[in-house]
A and B are shown apart, each in its own frame.
Chain A
């Protein structure tokens, strides 16, 4: 019995944590380049709806997934243009992007409300998936779950082991110095936001294709904002984001478990768990945070003229 509980808790944490991890990585890359994007919620919604609609049209989730990633990237370019080329305030532009995503996804998805799809199927790994205990906990997931941690590692490698990643971090820390060192801050920020949009679209697609198998207006329910907090939790590090996403996925899963078991606590109070946890973590981290935050986060690089 306890074993069963452990397995369902763990697999629940992994499932709920997956879109959070993609979204957190998305936000993290942008913030490393000095750009905070509150519009991630909108990017995820666009990914969710485009992925869903394309899957319905093709009867296959693979084109849906690809379309979701591309749509997220394209959609994020609106934000990129406004905050990078037009130097607008990032917080306000992000919220405007969120509203745009809410509206556009509602319009695209309206004819598809109530439809159910097969969605992403579980990948069976020979032998491993048939293991009695660990097989169920670790090896019966869709492809996006299996790719989540490798993606985090890839983002870490990209940011910390490549020349491009160095440029991103340099621009996020001090764009003027990066410019003086021969980097093109605006180009680097565009590239970062392109990848960020790509991951944001995937995060949304996981919600509609793998978790819900349906489309509903505003189905992200704040996960985009949540990821902004998770980036801080991870101290802007992709590998720590894995732990953060698991922990928060665990909070969501715990809440579902308690509800399923009829623990007499209102589900609304349980829903507050992850938000309360975020705040608590923020406060606990407050000392260490200062050194981790990218130096120019949220500021506008005015160029050099």
Chain B
């Protein structure tokens, strides 16, 4: 009994130390970004105050942070799932776009279906689009033809161009004079929002995805096999575990997650397909997955932090007239300090 209390006590104090260290790292990143703002003639204290007020300072601001978290959790899962067997999926961005493309096709083609039928169908199409796009890279990898790192990276550009092709060409909404965008989604294909905010039902995909990921990895035979493959592929092969099958499966599921993120964005946030669908959500998801080493709770925490930062970027653009992209500096600084931290708290590698 006494031992147990002592053990939980040390775990707790170690966790507290980790939180303090992490806070220090974030503080460092904030301080450096403050210097950057100062160098460009901005008042960093005012900027941070504005960011705080517009995000954590009000229920609406907080809900906006949650809105931004949804696609990030999904694109992080898109990376974390294949990463379990050391597949490096840098293609979340492209998978997101193809997911959105498939979802749009479904929404515009079967627009007359009732919502209870159309929404699952469109979601499924989003998953399928992202999944198949990633599966192509999975096949190349399984056949030993091309590393998935490079092929997923290159296919991001192809995917974005494909979406551009459709919204500038065959799917261009004749109603929207010069804007390259598809016709708007029918109401039945729009994911309903929750709690009178912009937080949409896509949150459910993210939560279910995280839970399934956790349960499958820690509680099932498949999880065990994947961990075996992750540790020693040769040994796993001799025990009758097929690496190729898992490569295809995990790339498909991972891509599907990113596809769901794309479906959520196009359906609930934009309401129509646009080439500006994603400001690098796939790449951000990659980083979230890597700095947390794919831990489900870590993904949630990191996605929250990054969402907070990107929401701040919109505020800085409006109130301080600096380009929205500038907030990428703060995001990069946070990632730098986390990546460069002394290993020991977050495990090795």
30 contacts between A and B (CB under 8 A): A38-B153, A78-B336, A82-B339, A86-B339, A86-B340, A92-B290, A92-B291, A92-B335, A93-B336, A96-B287, A96-B335, A96-B339, A97-B332, A98-B283, A99-B284, A100-B333, A103-B325, A103-B329, A104-B326, A107-B325, A222-B157, A229-B150, A268-B161, A268-B164, A269-B165, A271-B161, A275-B157, A275-B158, A279-B155, A286-B145
- Residue from A88, A91, A282 within 8 A of B88 (CB atoms): A91
Beta-carbon nearest neighbor of A98 in chain B:
B283
- Those of A198-244 within 8 Å (CB) of chain B: 217-218, 222, 225, 228-229, 232
**A82/B340 in contact, CB under 8 A:** yes
**B144/A286 in contact, CB under 8 A:** yes
Interface residue ranges, A against B (CB under 8 Å)? 38, 78, 81-82, 86-89, 91-93, 95-100, 102-104, 106-107, 110, 217-218, 222, 225, 228-229, 232, 266, 268-269, 271-272, 275-276, 278-279, 282-283, 286
Q: How far is the CA of A13 from the CA of B74 in the complex (A)?
A: 40
A293 to chain B, nearest CB (A): 9
Residues of B within 8 A of A266 (CB): 165, 168-169
Residues of A within 8 A of B162 (CB): 268, 272
**A107/B326 in contact, CB under 8 A:** yes
**B349/A89 in contact, CB under 8 A:** yes
**B153/A228 in contact, CB under 8 A:** yes
A100 and B287 in contact (CB under 8 A), knowing A279-B151, A282-B150? no
Q: How far is the CA of A100 from the CA of B329 in the complex (A)?
A: 5
Beta-carbon nearest neighbor of B144 in chain A:
A286
Beta-carbon nearest neighbor of B289 in chain A:
A92
**B340/A99 in contact, CB under 8 A:** no
A103 and B165 in contact (CB under 8 A), knowing A86-B340, A92-B291, A286-B145? no
Known: A104-B329, A268-B169, A271-B161. 4 other contacts (CB 8 A): A86-B340, A96-B287, A268-B162, A286-B144
Q: How far is the CA of A156 from the CA of B239 in the complex (A)?
A: 46
* Per-position binary interface string of chain B over residues 298-331, scored 1 when its CB falls under 8 Å from any chain A CB and 0 otherwise: 0000000000000000000000001101111111
Does B229 touch A at the CB level, under 8 Å?
Answer: no
Beta-carbon nearest neighbor of A271 in chain B:
B161
* Per-position binary interface string of chain B over residues 146-176, scored 1 when its CB falls under 8 Å from any chain A CB and 0 otherwise: 1001110111011001101100110000000
Residues of B within 8 A of A102 (CB): 325, 328
**A279/B154 in contact, CB under 8 A:** yes
Does B114 touch A at the CB level, under 8 Å?
Answer: no
Does B280 touch A at the CB level, under 8 Å?
Answer: yes
Residues of A within 8 A of B185 (CB): none
Residues of B within 8 A of A89 (CB): 290, 339, 349
B295 to chain A, nearest CB (A): 15
Contact-size category for B: 35 or more
Residues of A within 8 A of B343 (CB): 87
Does B140 touch A at the CB level, under 8 Å?
Answer: yes
Residues of A within 8 A of B140 (CB): 283
Residues of A within 8 A of B116 (CB): none
A53 to chain B, nearest CB (A): 13
Does B252 touch A at the CB level, under 8 Å?
Answer: no
Does B127 touch A at the CB level, under 8 Å?
Answer: no
Residues of B within 8 A of A99 (CB): 280, 283-284, 287, 328-329, 331-332, 335
B157 to chain A, nearest CB (A): 5
A95 and B161 in contact (CB under 8 A), knowing A103-B326, A110-B322, A279-B151? no
Beta-carbon nearest neighbor of A281 in chain B:
B146
B88 to chain A, nearest CB (A): 6
- Residue from B90, B328, B349 within 8 A of A91 (CB atoms): B90
B285 to chain A, nearest CB (A): 10
A275 to chain B, nearest CB (A): 5
Residues of B within 8 A of A276 (CB): 158
Residues of A within 8 A of B151 (CB): 279, 282
- Residue from A86, A95, A104, A228 within 8 A of B150 (CB atoms): A228
A49 to chain B, nearest CB (A): 12
B49 to chain A, nearest CB (A): 20
Does B36 touch A at the CB level, under 8 Å?
Answer: yes
A100 and B339 in contact (CB under 8 A), knowing A107-B322, A229-B154? no
Residues of A within 8 A of B287 (CB): 92, 95-96, 99
Does B286 touch A at the CB level, under 8 Å?
Answer: yes
Q: How far is the CA of A282 from the CA of B169 in the complex (A)?
A: 30
Q: How far is the CA of A89 from the CA of B335 in the complex (A)?
A: 11
A107 and B36 in contact (CB under 8 A), knowing A96-B287, A102-B328? yes
A26 to chain B, nearest CB (A): 17
Does B195 touch A at the CB level, under 8 Å?
Answer: no
Residues of A within 8 A of B164 (CB): 268
**B327/A103 in contact, CB under 8 A:** yes
Residues of B within 8 A of A225 (CB): 153-154, 157
